[in-house]
Structure 1
């Protein structure tokens, strides 16, 4: 598999997109981010954050306090990716009516 394709899969994954959009707002603690993203399991969010951290998009800041505190934020590379993902999400949101109309035309033609 091409390296660019692999990165693209991480950036545009279901949870990756939502993590980018959330972290573009501000840094989040894990539990806050999970609530902000919504309907994501702890395991899936952990895997997504680890993947994005490994790719250099997310910074994990573990503070040595009790109880432990971990904050997640975007790196400079992550901020750049988040701008692109956010723009795609905005475009998608604005084009939902056109997509729904196309689906209805397609379905009508098939019945």
Structure 2
């Protein structure tokens, strides 16, 4: 617990330059976390490997790293992907599948 003059020490993210390069914005859907802290929290941003390491993507290659919001990052998952555009297609397909499920079972449409 913090008291008095104690300060919260935040670790510097070694990939901070990726956030800055991408303007704190999800490269897949365009959600921006740069407008306010609330927007940043809602997006729950992370650094994503465009081509997952599991499928041969380079771990520390800046060209393989992008900012992604939690929704896009979880929808893309570990699927093989060669570019941000390919990732957008994967995400759009999964979103459509989830939306169809939602309409069928939640809205019962």
Interval of TM-score (by shorter of Structure 1 and Structure 2): 0.3 to 0.5
More helix as a share of residues: 1
Q: Which has the higher contact order (CA 8 A, sep 6+)?
A: 1
More strand as a share of residues: 1
